[in-house]
Structure 1
Amino acid sequence: MLLAGAAQAQSPAAPAAAPESILNDTPLTLHATPMLTEAVPDSGSQPAIVYGEHITGRPNLETVIEGDAELRRPGFVLRSNRLTYDQTTDVATAEGDVRINARGNRFSGVEGQIQVDAFEGFVLQPTYELLVNGAHGQGERLDFQDRDRATVLSGDYTTCQRGGPDWMPDWILRATRLELDQEEQIGRAEGAKLEFQGVPILPLPSMTFPLNNERKSGWLPPTVGLDNKSGLNLAVPYYWNIAPNRDATLTPEFMLRRGVDMAGEFRYMESNYDGRVNAHYMPNDRLRGRDRWGYFIRHNGLYSTGVDAIGGVGFGLNLNRVSDNDHWRDFTRKGLSLTTRLLANDGTLNWSKGDFTLMGRALKWQTLQDVTAPIVPPYDRLPQITGRWARVNDRGFDYSVEADYTRFRADRLLTLQPNADRSYVWAQASRPFVRSWGFFTPKVQVHSAHYAFNGGQVDGSNNASRTVPTVSLDGGLVFERNASYFGRAFRQTLEPRLMYVYTPYRDQSLIPNYDTGAYDFNFATIWAENAFAGHDRVVDNNLVTAGLTTRLLDPETGAEAVRLGVAQRYRFSPQKVVLPGGTPNDRGLSDLMLGASINWTPKWSFDTVVQYNPETRRSTRTTIHARYSPEKFHTLSVAYRNQRDLLSESVDVGWQWPLGDLVGRRGELGTTTRGGGGSCTGRWYGVGRLNYSLRDKKLVDAVVGVEYDAGCWIGRVVFEKLTSSVTSSTKRVMFQLEFIGLSKLGTNPLRALRNNIPGYEYLRQETTPPSRFTAYD
């Protein structure tokens, strides 16, 4: 390849052409000025550009550049004080202040040699910085295997940003051999030692770590936890990245007070199905004196039958099974929460085509009993077959017909009623009239059910049937006007609504209850035709519901700033149909529902709902919730709940807030750079949620902790207390160090913070991989 200099020597006249032999043997000296000239490439090679103050060389053999020497090719820049380029071997030798930029990755050293096209070579006393995550380090020698692979001997690695001359990173990984594979995005360290604040905390003979956010196989950092049931526990997970759409995690865990538990998770995702399998096994748990186990399986898929007239068939599995009744409170991190005492084992097969849907289902429950708070188990459905036909806007009408057959089975000694096979048909037709200024919808429904009992009823019968019709008229108007409040323009609406429902009384007192429950009384259910969810009861109704809503909308965006609502029912005749043990509603007015939602600015939100009893002149239920979120990582929420009918009154407070100058140094909020490294100026955050029972005068649940964001690492300490029964609770302490761009050590509290604190934000969000032009030379 012919390499041209940065400039041509100036002469009054061009000399005569010299013989080729003379040019090949005679040195050529050029005194360059700052101007670039592109080389003429040989076939199969990329063009190169050289730059320097003084250039000597023999054409097609070698070129020597001295003084701010530079060799440039697409995606590659090499600079040094003196640069020798051998064109016959494509090898560049650099001496003094060597600097290399390869697709945004930067390397430097005192001297080095590299074969340019193959990108093979070395740098002595190197420093490096990777584009993908901002990681950097230094060593005794750096060897390039190709453009994506390099090895640092006696080197180190960190994502903390550099400081002054005496600067030391908060954390640093030292290794006798450090391999950086940017094709696989994996780092490998041998003879490794992790130092934090100058103190060695984790010696490792060998380890691997990610260079980006992509998954990789290998041992994950150990997690250490402490709680009042297991004592000190240590888990060492192994992650297997089977394929881009499949992975598995195997987690052996040692619990000081209990023994060894082996847990595993397998995840998969295909084009037409996906799922997850979790399982664990603990032999001879010393806490309970027996083997403990559990499995939790999720699967959903859509499978083609290969026949266009039939289409696809959906299949779903939700399987949950544990070894004993105490599992729900002893294994809070194995797939169950502290409130999960009903475990569903559910399989569904569904098909749809046009207006038709068909579903087959088998459901069996495992009920975890507590002697201090026993519960009646729900009925198994073995099987359930449901078909539905629905059509919308057929010449203005909406139709639907639903038919269902279910075989209910449970232990009669616990349910105190016979098992049964139930069939029902539920048909409805409506004619909505919708305009911009309002709507009116007349509707007719018929609900017919038949029961075949496998044991005699109280009256001696083995069968029961009932058919109940329902007629409803639902209408509303929408009035709008331009308005201004507190100097702000709005579009204000006034939306009255009136609904009449008539359902004649049918005696259903002798029909057992298999799947029906009462709706909670709120703004949504006050407009429902039936007060019950399920199909064993249809309430008798002769009532009218009236409501009024006004809203303030932003005229530009349509965002809702204020919503005020009120609704109430008037029953013309007393209610007769109730659930077993239920109380019927009398004739007359129901409780009054009052609601307000205010989002005047994005910083503030306020919601309240009051269920007010006009007779007692007291609220039956009151909920007040307010949240203040002025900016990222600033959120404070307060909720008050008073349910007199359930004898419950509580206050709930949640927060995520920088502690500022109260603790430590004041840094920037959520400071991030490439890969998540930050300014390392540091900032403390307080996080937590407290739920306090005013009636019982005790703290029910608590999650309280602090987070420290140092830019290149995050520290978290969180205490959690969750009440599992009237007399017991689970307490644990979670401590975690997150080294940005390397790994996490300790017990991860992020799920607990996210699930408990309204509006909680992770201090480190996933970032977009940077462009190679980010560090372009």
Structure 2
Amino acid sequence: MAWAATTAYNAQAQSKESSLWDASMPALQLKSSTRLEEVIAPALRDQLPSYIKAEQITGQADINSVLEGGAELRRADTVIRADRVEYTVADDTVNAQGNVHINRGGNVYQGTALKLQVDAFQGDFTDATYQFLETQGHGNADRIEFIDRDNTIVYQATYTTCLRDDAASWTPDWVIRAKRIELDRVEDVGVAYGGTLEFKGVPIIPVPAMSFPLSDKRKSGLLPPTIGIDSVSGVEYSQPYYWNIAPNRDATITPTLMSKRGVSLGTEFRYLEPTYRGALDLEFTPNDKLRDRDRWAYNWKHATSLATPIGGIGLNWNLTRVSDDNYWRDFSRMPGNSDSFGQSNQRLLSSDGYLSWSSGKHSVSLYAQKWQVLQDIDAPIAPPFNRVPQLQWRYNTDAWAVKGWDVNMMAETTRFEADTWDGRKHQDNGQRSYGLLQVSRPVLLSGGFVTPKVQLHTSNYQFEDFSATRPRSKSFSIPTLSLDSGLVYERDTTLRGRGYTQTLEPRAFYTYTPYRDQSMVPLYDTALTDFNFGSIYSENSYTGRDRIADNHLLTIGVTTRYLKPEDGSEVARLGIAQRLRFEDQRVGLGYDALGKKGWSDILVGGGITWNSRWSTDGLVQYNRDTQRTARSSISARYTPGPYKTLSAAYRFQREDSLQIANQGSEQVDFGWQWPLNAGRTNAFGEATGGGRWYSVGRLNYSMYDKKLVDAIVGFEYDSCCWIGRVVVERMQNSRNDSNTRLLFQIEFVGLSRLSLGADPLRSLQEFVPGYRPLRDHAGTTPSRFSNYD
């Protein structure tokens, strides 16, 4: 390589010397050498020469060579060293004795005697040790048989990923002892026959035949089991099995034994094709002993996207159903949704499907949605309305008639039906047809913008049941005018000794919607929007189509930001906004507090990224009349390094606030992942050697109720070649009841690979902000040059 660089340098110098008067001639540049390719192509491998080195070399040219004293033969990515090497050119065979060392692509073998056909990589190695580059898996063997470049058989062998230290008494924490281990480097799979798996010197599992990975590739096999103690289900044992069906399909099959319930089977099947993808999650518990019935649940998510000559066609569905009303209370997770932190949200299960077509500015969709309500006798829920179905057409353009005009049109018709409740049919079932015409003319200025907008909402309701107090049908036509405007000023400034670009962004938003009495119309899909910096600059106070608020108001606000001039990233943000209502609001939902004439609460919010470790965010809603805070939240996160994160949040909402009456709450939320001892770590913060303890968890405490609402607390131990976890979950089922689980899990690194859905890892990933699974550094496969001889 040095010669190549020198030659290129000399050639470049000569070129410059011969063309001193020709400045247009391009300069020569160095090119990367094919000798440093990560994988050497078979066609190139046959052309590569062999290099030999020793203290004494004898033999016949082009026939054989005998190397003695520090003997070395090097070809492509293979290096052979020994005390004595005999090399026969005709059959490309090496016989080596004494301190034999082989490095092939970073994988190292050492032993006493070797016979090997170098290019074919066929031969035998006696009294050998081996170590693989990617997994750091290693072991001893009486004999190693090299079948070819990709297949090896190791006899009377051991295998472990525990790193050896310098102590003479060192023994691995876990090891496989087998009569035979077959290693396939094409599939990167090893299969051990006739042995046992030992942990801490104790045989724990007989191994008549067991496969394990030789890299981070997906492979079929057992995942780490989970042992748990559940306050409802008793002692649980789950043993997931991962099935790598194809590169684009896989499945995780998890049988579970529960001492109080019996046996259950969970299956998650995933598929990915060029035009569609999806996942099917199934749970089945036959003859649940506690409920004396079969229990089941499923979730099927599917998405299809097709490009056709007539436009794009999409078909999506998300189907979720469970067997009974108590499922959410008895089981920790709903299929397709791992949300168990606040399980009360899972009492409403939606199944929906969506068929769409789009071409140019037009799009048409057909949507259907049906709810399953898991009722609780102590806290019943009125069933939401099903959409059976909804047909919608949209027209969107940003250049219609006159350049610069934005025109959006939408029309839809929806059949709403609610399931019977308390044996009664819902009286508000009906058909709603809705149309929206929206025209705006954005004007973009060098330092700001002005956007006038006109909207026309039209609605028609056809009711299934009608009476003297309710007509058979009702129609509305409601216009809305709005004007949005803002300025953006910038200046260079200095903060804490560093230069930034500071912006000042004042904004004014005016909207007017006349009053229309909509009280006789049911709430099919409408709810109050949250009062935040997004909704305060919007025309309507509600989501959905059933209420168009009679807003006549002006919103004024200002935001300032600090930006890094080199990349424009935001370092700090502070904003304040307030509404001035010119008339009392009269349109409402019946349970919300209507806006009064005059100034609204003041909204103040901001965030600071102090550095790569610290960040904070805050929001305050302040009532000037009562001179009290109506709502506030503040959060902070500290992430100083790998597997180190702390997060804290405080949320407060006063009763009888201006948004929703009688919804007071005050909660503190704290989450963390933190090492408990120093230990030796690598570049990823992982234990290397004696091991490292981590604490992880999240606590949600209600100061309003003076009790812990939900909690997950765990400990993890990383001992270089195995990871242990113990996690305690306490989840609130209702105001008075909770469910507690204690989960244990052990993972042998390099032997079993965790999937995303592994329990309790799933809970930690979902509910601990900033949690990072130990040894999560995908895409860091070491290069063969990192172990280069």
Would the TM-score normalized by the shorter structure come out above 0.5?
yes
For 2:158 and 2:139, the matched residues in 1 are separated by 5
For 2:49 and 2:517, the matched residues in 1 are separated by 93
Confirm or deny that 1:379 pairs with 2:385: yes
Alignment of 1:452-601 (within 5 A): 452-457=462-467, 459-601=469-611
Paired residue type of 2:648 = V
Shift, 1:460, TM fit: 4.4
Which stretch shifts more, 365-374 or 751-760?
A: 751-760
Confirm or deny that 1:405 pairs with 2:413: yes
After superposition, the C-alpha distances for 1:404-456 in whole angstroms (9 at most, x for unaligned) are: 01011113656853211111111110111112311111110000000111111
* SS of residue in 1 equivalent to 2:483: strand
Whether contact under 8 Å (1:387, 1:403) holds in the other structure is yes
Whether contact under 8 Å (2:132, 2:138) holds in the other structure is yes
Paired residue type of 1:143 = E
Paired residue type of 2:414 = T
Shift, 1:396, TM fit: 1.1
For 2:152 and 2:629, the matched residues in 1 are separated by 71
Question: 2:23 maps to which residue?
Answer: none
* SS of residue in 1 equivalent to 2:553: strand
Whether contact under 8 Å (1:735, 1:748) holds in the other structure is no
Shift, 1:195, TM fit: 2.6
Confirm or deny that 1:690 pairs with 2:692: no
Which stretch shifts more, 459-468 or 594-603?
A: 594-603
Shift, 1:612, TM fit: 1.1
Which stretch shifts more, 109-118 or 382-391?
A: 109-118
Shift, 1:631, TM fit: 2.5
Shift, 1:680, TM fit: 1.6
For 2:496 and 2:208, the matched residues in 1 are separated by 67
After superposition, the C-alpha distances for 1:531-580 in whole angstroms (9 at most, x for unaligned) are: 11000111111111111222222333323222221111111111111113
For 2:150 and 2:431, the matched residues in 1 are separated by 67
Whether contact under 8 Å (2:54, 2:72) holds in the other structure is yes
Which stretch shifts more, 512-521 or 627-636?
A: 627-636
Question: 1:133 maps to which residue?
Answer: 135
After superposition, the C-alpha distances for 1:319-371 in whole angstroms (9 at most, x for unaligned) are: 11110011123222342432212222211110111111110112111111111
1:160 to 162, 184, 209: 162
Shift, 1:60, TM fit: 5.7
Shift, 1:46, TM fit: 6.2
Question: 2:262 maps to which residue?
Answer: 259
Question: 2:361 maps to which residue?
Answer: 355
Question: 1:327 maps to which residue?
Answer: 327
Shift, 1:162, TM fit: 2.1
**Residues 357 and 44 from structure 1, CA distance in 2 versus in 1: closer, same or farther, beyond 3 angstroms?**
closer
Alignment of 1:212-291 (within 5 A): 212-291=215-294
Confirm or deny that 1:717 pairs with 2:726: yes
For 1:530 and 1:550, the matched residues in 2 are separated by 26
For 1:365 and 1:458, the matched residues in 2 are separated by 31
**Residues 351 and 139 from structure 1, CA distance in 2 versus in 1: closer, same or farther, beyond 3 angstroms?**
same
1:655 to 649, 652, 672: 672
Q: CA RMSD in A?
A: 2.2
Paired residue type of 1:352 = S
After superposition, the C-alpha distances for 1:722-775 in whole angstroms (9 at most, x for unaligned) are: 112112212112222222222269973222222222222222122432222222
Whether contact under 8 Å (1:633, 1:669) holds in the other structure is no
Question: 2:440 maps to which residue?
Answer: 430
Question: 2:32 maps to which residue?
Answer: none
Shift, 1:671, TM fit: 4.7
**Residues 127 and 319 from structure 1, CA distance in 2 versus in 1: closer, same or farther, beyond 3 angstroms?**
same
* SS of residue in 1 equivalent to 2:763: helix
For 1:234 and 1:528, the matched residues in 2 are separated by 52
Which stretch shifts more, 238-247 or 349-358?
A: 238-247
Paired residue type of 1:328 = W
For 2:631 and 2:95, the matched residues in 1 are separated by 81
Question: 2:99 maps to which residue?
Answer: 97
For 1:639 and 1:670, the matched residues in 2 are separated by 30
**Residues 701 and 448 from structure 1, CA distance in 2 versus in 1: closer, same or farther, beyond 3 angstroms?**
same
Shift, 1:480, TM fit: 2.4
Flag structure 1 segments of 5+ consecutive residues without an equivalent: 1-42
Paired residue type of 2:671 = G
Shift, 1:290, TM fit: 0.7
Shift, 1:302, TM fit: 1.3
Paired residue type of 2:708 = L
Shift, 1:275, TM fit: 0.6
1:391 to 397, 402, 410: 397
For 2:468 and 2:579, the matched residues in 1 are separated by 35
Flag structure 2 segments of 5+ consecutive residues without an equivalent: 1-44, 656-662
Count matched residues.
724
For 2:581 and 2:425, the matched residues in 1 are separated by 33
* SS of residue in 1 equivalent to 2:325: coil
Whether contact under 8 Å (2:649, 2:668) holds in the other structure is yes
Question: 1:297 maps to which residue?
Answer: 300
Whether contact under 8 Å (1:102, 1:147) holds in the other structure is no
The structure number with the bigger radius of gyration is 1
**Residues 483 and 116 from structure 1, CA distance in 2 versus in 1: closer, same or farther, beyond 3 angstroms?**
closer
Shift, 1:649, TM fit: 0.8
* SS of residue in 1 equivalent to 2:536: helix
Which stretch shifts more, 425-434 or 750-759?
A: 750-759
**Residues 91 and 631 from structure 1, CA distance in 2 versus in 1: closer, same or farther, beyond 3 angstroms?**
closer
Shift, 1:142, TM fit: 1.0
Question: 1:29 maps to which residue?
Answer: none
For 1:218 and 1:171, the matched residues in 2 are separated by 18
For 1:175 and 1:615, the matched residues in 2 are separated by 79
Question: 1:668 maps to which residue?
Answer: 681
For 1:103 and 1:628, the matched residues in 2 are separated by 41
For 2:691 and 2:258, the matched residues in 1 are separated by 34
Paired residue type of 2:516 = R
